[in-house]
Amino acid sequence: MIEPSVLGLHEVDETHVAVVGGKGAHLGGLSRIDGIRVPPGFCVTTDAFRRIMAEAPSIDDRLDQLSRLAPDDRDAIRTLSAEIRRVLEEIAIPGDLAAAITGALARLGEHAAYAVRSSATAEDLPTASFAGQQDTYLNVIGTAAVLQHVRRCWASLFTQRAVSYRQRGGIDHRAVHMAVVVQRMVNPAVAGVLFTADPVTSNRRVTSVEAVFGLGEALVSGLVTRDVYTVRDGEVIARAVGTKQLAIHASPAGGTQEQAIDPEIADRPALTDAQVVRLAQLGRRIEAHFGRPQDIEWCLVDDDVAELTGRTSGSGSPAGGPSGGEFQIVQSRPITTLFPIPESGDRESHVYVSVGHQQMMTDPMKPLGLSFWQMTTPAPMAEAGGRLFVDVTHRLATPASRTGLVAALARSDPLIGDALQTVLERDGFIRPLPDEDPPGPLFGGGAAAPIETDPAVVTDLIGRTQASIAAAERDIATTSGEALLDFIQADIQELRRILFDPQSHQVFMSAMEAAWWLNDQLQEWLGEKNVADTLTQSVPHNITSEMGMALLDVADVIRPHPDVVAFLRHVEDDAVSGEHWLDELGRLPGGREARDAIEAWLARYGMRCVGEIDITRPRWSERPATLVPVILGNVKNFGPGAGARRFEQGRQEARAKEQDVLERLRALPDGERKAEEAKRRIDRVRTFIGYREYPKYGMVSRYFVYKQALLKEAERLVQARVIGEQEDIFYLRFPELHDVVRTKHVDDQLIDRRKDAFRSYRALTPPRVLTSDGEVVAGAYRRAGVPTGALVGLPVSAGVVEGRARVILDMAQADLEAGDILVTTYTDPSWTPLFVAITGLVTEVGGLMTHGAVIAREYGLPAVVGVVDATRLIPDGQRVRVHGTGGFVEILP
């Protein structure tokens, strides 16, 4: 069947994206909504574009060249994209296609003015808006001019910006086609944009309207100060009226022109409150039709206002078009930057706290990873945007739990505490509940019962965990099929028993409480902040800090062998010429010793990786090449025995600080009692705080046992042609995977949809606190005495250090020199090997007892966490000063 080259807007809807592009499909959908006025027009379809591309074979070679370029190779992209545009702008439109376009123009009025607008198939989609990537031409008059601007719209698919955008998003240039929308021109008195969710806070109950006199191009280009109106529940609750000195109007000869606004009306609102509310109602109707919040472009045709703002009536107005203040909608696209709202199943207000900010993993998780975490945790967790959240509404509504919850979360992450306080101060958002039956602890556990400071308690807990993992590894080896899924489901109860063992909780909670006591009391008694940071250096049984030191020992084995070092410098992937690099390494002089050292390290720590709480993430044992840059950095930056020396140095510094503190306390009134109390807490914190990292290590170790077994089962499903590849199972929840194993049938479309959704989730930034209205509640640091221009965060490891900032978003790309300061989004245990090379740490996410803070204190690194937008505000290579005691970062000249 031959597709038509031209379709009227009334003939298409949002299901026709492949034929008329995103903009055309949305305009067709809009034209079908009762009460929504859309300027009449037609679409030149993607079939026409494909015909044109086929008649220009020189473009094909240039597309091949483009596909091989990196997104940041701007010069090459600029040159190639300009060549493609030139070909398309100069190409002759075939006679039958030109006739179809001119025939459509004749039906609408060939002497009228038109807007000619690009409409790509990868534009205005639910997961990516591509706003502004292609071109729009206004007030195009005459058939020849329309045809020329159709060619320009085709060419705009290959602007440098559009090409770079697709390359960054991994979108094949050949997979995107261009349709063109041609609409009767609206020459409005007022125009603007309407967001059916607040563009700043993401609140879905709030509508935001921006307005300028004349065409909306004045707003888009930033030429004028716009009016901004905020609507909630059918009422304008805020307005900011700008001084609108210019308007853009259609020119009688075609194109647009700027016109000055009469100073007497420049400060007048462009819209009345009644018009704003009416526009907001239209927005809600459009949102309901498309099923998601919308970014809408609108025009108001009102001749009375037009005369005041300098518009010449007549040319450009649609024949028979609305007058007397009618709104016309000229575009609607989904707002793709909003974070999704967890489903609650009711219409009550809810407040959600991010789990990822507590676990130091704010990346999205695949469905199987989410499922495993939900099976493991004691608290019910809501899902949104590939992340997990805890609903704290009940705890906030109950006086008995409210104060403790906010205080605990504020101590860990002040931004969460402040955001929750903001919510509590709002009248009526949370309905109060009586104190009867207060909810349990948020993340399991609760207040720690007393426990004797006995090192044997820790070694016993570790021994029991190791024995349980070994038993699981032994028993799972003989299971497959449904029995494997049943085994894992049952064994997770054993994992939960170990994770939430009351004695385990007593150990690390008593250590944390001892550290808090030391910081509070020693500041009060001695005037010294954060003393526990030094006292907790080089403690026993910290499996995570030991991991970083152990990789220094691996470097010691490699350093004496230049052939091994040279080989490792060229390892980029885990397969070298089809062979695993570790196997090839073993044939080099010194290579066997190097391989054995790496494999021994992997045997103890290889179940870890970045984002390790997601069982689907590739582990170091699966991709050991990830570690090579860190190993080479250790070879270059350290000498033999650095790991042992560093640990001993930390132990000596802690011992010296203990002696100093106790001597100073004894010199105070009632000093012997104070020193005795402090000594008791110091012993407790040094005995128990290292165990703080072990429960997670045990959980991740068990997850890896499960994962290895599941991947073997997935391979059987691949061989049976049930799934296409092993990793397809990662896009199924655990019960769904159980059904697939049982029935040997899978919904391929479900997996494809979830893969698409996961890709879109990666572009979202999860909030610390989110409400059921979709509002992202941002907290703030309430702290005085911070230098002007400094970036504020949470102080988690004392000291002050200056150095070169290295902004690193991917551990595998780390290139650190001794003395560098690491700046990154978050650090989970997998980042620990980098800590041995740095002198300071700055992260965007973190809390007092989260991984980066614990290990920074263990290694004696000044650290500030929770610095909002640190990776954007601190340039890579910039010299900075980190105030780990004061909690701020200064950018140095």
Query: Can you name the residues that pair with 193 across neighbouring β-strands?
Result: 210, 297
Query: Could you give the dihedral angle defined by the CA atoms of residues 70, 72, 78 and 79, in that order, rounded to the nearest 10 degrees?
Result: -50
Cα(534)–Cα(859) distance, integer angstroms: 9
Q: At what angle do helices 694-719 and 455-476 cross, to 10 degrees?
A: 10
Residues 6+ apart with CB under 8 A from 162: 81, 120, 130, 133, 134, 156
Q: How far are the Cα atoms of 482, 501, 505, 514, 517 from residue 448, in angstroms, in the given order?
A: 40, 12, 7, 11, 14
Put the strands of the sheet holding 769-771 in their side by side order.
382-384, 387-391, 351-354, 769-771
Max Cα distance, the chain (Å): 101
Cα(507)–Cα(453) distance, integer angstroms: 9
On whether the CB atoms of residues 52 and 67 are closer than 8 A, the answer is: no
- The dihedral through the CA atoms of 87, 26, 208, 292 has a sign that is negative
What is residue 342's three-state secondary structure?
coil
Pairing of β 888-891 and β 791-792: antiparallel
Active-site annotation holder among 177, 505, 851, 883: 851
Alpha helices in 350-501 (DSSP H): 356-359, 367-376, 393-397, 399-412, 414-424, 455-476, 481-499
The 8-class DSSP code of residue 860 comes to: T
Residues 6+ apart with CB under 8 A from 562: none
Pairing of β 136-141 and β 178-184: unpaired
Residues 6+ apart with CB under 8 A from 243: 225, 266, 267
**851: annotated active-site residue:** yes
Characterize 363-381 residue by residue with b for buried, 16 or more Cβ atoms within 10 angstroms of its Cβ, and e for exposed.
Answer: bbbbbbbbbbbbbbbebeb
Cα(318)–Cα(194) distance, integer angstroms: 22
> For residue 155, which of 88, 61, 82, 55 has the smallest C-alpha distance?
88
Cα(874)–Cα(887) distance, integer angstroms: 16
615: left (phi over 0), alpha (psi -120 to 50) or beta: alpha
Residues 6+ apart with CB under 8 A from 599: 582
The 8-class DSSP code of residue 329 comes to: E
Q: How far are the Cα atoms of 301, 329, 330, 668 from residue 285, in angstroms, in the given order?
A: 20, 12, 15, 72
Helix and strand totals (H; E) in the chain = 33, 27
Q: Within 10 Å of residue 187's Cβ, how many Cβ atoms?
A: 25
Residues 6+ apart with CB under 8 A from 738: 482, 485, 489
Q: Which two structure tokens, joined as six digits, stand for 388?
A: 């997990």
Q: Which two structure tokens, joined as six digits, stand for 440?
A: 């349990």
**22 half-sphere exposure, CB direction, 13 A CA radius:** 21
- The dihedral through the CA atoms of 568, 574, 575, 579 has a sign that is positive
State residue 82 phi and psi, 5-degree precision.
Answer: -65, -40
- Known catalytic residues are 851
